[in-house]
């Protein structure tokens, strides 16, 4: 489901190379029905860990009550909002991260089998995992370790948090295994599309039309669009743009190329359009990203 652009949020992440951030939310002396999380959506995943008080969160228009120790999973693109259910202090931690955090694991077969289907929104975890299967509460210590790492900021804490997040998603996927493990048709399609996806990710400077991509996998346009969205969770154009902006982010942070040069390297002939697209996908302009990196 696509929600209004006016409600889209672009989270400001602390680390461009590690696209995640923890938000420590505290609402002192909240009143019943007070808004404690404004209505919005974003392309990032969000894990809400309740620490104090009781609240109700609506995720994609469905209500979920939460108290101390409860954990809610907001999928990428999920519209969500929160309200207090009591008078008193309310506090919760939000772990926000983008699926591109794990892009380096795309060649790991176990990752592709268990975790990738959830990162691509092909499947979604229950919003309240422990309510559907109590064993999930045993995994919540991983989230507490993430919070500890974010607060202490010891050397390499970003890498530790990345690995802990992947562990948490892996444990959840073990409890809620993706259905396509027993779906031969889905597996065939994934293998069929692998060369195309590899081409799009490794040759972001090349222009490929929707029609030529459909011909690449020998499908008509209708079935190509339907299958591509099912496999990746994105439209073809959105997927291509995401690949280009991921590469642009890498070039901005790891090279001394000018923004105009980077624009050309990722297939955008118009630097102004590139700047607009980068801000849409990364939440800041290319110049802002580079300036933040050199602080």
Three-state secondary-structure class, residue 266? coil
Whether the CB-CB separation of 204 and 262 falls below 8 Å is answered with no
**What phi, psi does 64 have (nearest 5°)?**
-140, 115
CATH number at residue 19: 2.60.120.10
- From the list 108, 146, 199, the residue with the least C-alpha distance to 24 is 146
Same domain, 275 and 221: yes
Structure tokens at 96: 């926000």
Whether the CB-CB separation of 56 and 24 falls below 8 Å is answered with no
Answer whether residue 290 is part of any domain.
no
Give dist(CA 3, CA 171) in Å, integer.
30
- Whole-model pTM: value is 0.66
Burial (CB < 10 A; 0-12, 13-18, 19+), residue 191, is exposed
Structure tokens at 177: 């295994």
β-bridge partners, 26: 91
Give dist(CA 83, CA 45) in Å, integer.
20
Answer whether residue 170 is part of any domain.
yes
Q: How far apart are the first and last CA of the chain?
A: 38
Same domain, 198 and 163: no
Half-sphere exposure of 46 (CA within 13 A, CB side): 25
Please identify every stretch of the chain with a pLDDT value under 50, giving residue numbers as ranges. Answer: 180-184
The predicted structure's pLDDT at residue 188:
55
The predicted structure's pLDDT at residue 180:
47
Same domain, 22 and 165: yes
Same domain, 60 and 192: no
pLDDT tens across 80-103, in order?
Answer: 999 999 999 999 999 999 998 998
The residue segments making up the domain with residue 255 are 184-283
Same domain, 157 and 195: no
Give dist(CA 59, CA 121) in Å, integer.
15
Domain count, the chain: 2
Q: Could you say which of 175, 206, 231 is where a domain stops?
A: 175
Q: Could you say which of 175, 202, 234 is where a domain stops?
A: 175
The predicted structure's pLDDT at residue 182:
45
The predicted structure's pLDDT at residue 156:
94
Beta strands in 78-224 (DSSP E): 80-84, 88-97
Give dist(CA 231, CA 214) in Å, integer.
14
Q: Are strands 20-30 and 88-97 parallel, antiparallel or unpaired?
A: antiparallel
- From the list 99, 234, 231, the residue with the least C-alpha distance to 165 is 99
Give dist(CA 41, CA 43) in Å, integer.
7
The predicted structure's pLDDT at residue 282:
84
CATH number at residue 248: 1.10.10.60
Whether the CB-CB separation of 227 and 236 falls below 8 Å is answered with no
Same domain, 62 and 150: yes
Give dist(CA 191, CA 131) in Å, integer.
35
Same domain, 171 and 245: no
Q: Are strands 20-30 and 71-74 parallel, antiparallel or unpaired?
A: unpaired
β-bridge partners, 46: 74, 96
pLDDT tens across 155-190, in order?
Answer: 999 999 999 999 999 999 999 988 644 444 555 567
Give dist(CA 249, CA 171) in Å, integer.
30
**What is the CA angle 77-78-83, rounded to 5?**
145
């Amino acid at each position: 489901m696509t929600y209004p652009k006016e409600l889209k949020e672009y989270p400001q992440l602390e680390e461009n190379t590690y696209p995640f951030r923890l938000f420590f939310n505290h609402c002192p002396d909240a009143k019943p029905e007070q808004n404690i999380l404004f209505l919005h959506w974003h392309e990032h995943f969000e894990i809400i860990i309740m620490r104090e008080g009781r609240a109700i969160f609506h995720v994609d228009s469905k209500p979920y009550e939460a108290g101390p120790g409860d954990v809610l999973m907001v999928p990428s693109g999920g519209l969500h909002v929160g309200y207090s259910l009591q008078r008193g202090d309310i506090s919760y931690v939000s772990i926000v991260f983008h699926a591109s955090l794990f892009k380096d694991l795309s060649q790991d077969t176990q990752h592709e089998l268990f975790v990738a289907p959830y990162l691509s929104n092909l499947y979604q975890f229950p919003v309240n995992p422990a309510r559907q299967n109590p064993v999930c509460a045993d995994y919540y210590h991983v989230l507490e370790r993430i919070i500890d790492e974010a607060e202490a900021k010891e050397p390499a804490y970003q890498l530790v948090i990345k690995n802990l997040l992947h562990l948490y998603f892996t444990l959840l996927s073990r409890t809620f295994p993706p259905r396509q493990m027993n779906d031969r048709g889905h597996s065939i399609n994934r293998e069929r599309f692998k060369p195309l996806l590899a081409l799009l990710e490794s040759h972001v400077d090349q222009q490929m039309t929707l029609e030529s991509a459909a011909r690449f996998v020998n499908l008509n346009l209708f079935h190509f669009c339907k299958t591509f969205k099912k496999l990746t969770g994105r439209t073809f154009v959105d997927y291509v743009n995401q690949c280009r902006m991921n590469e642009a982010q890498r070039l901005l942070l790891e090279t001394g190329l000018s923004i105009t040069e980077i624009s050309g390297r990722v297939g955008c002939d118009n630097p102004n359009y590139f700047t607009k697209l980068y801000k849409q996908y990364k939440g800041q302009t290319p110049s802002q990203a580079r300036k933040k990196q050199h602080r």
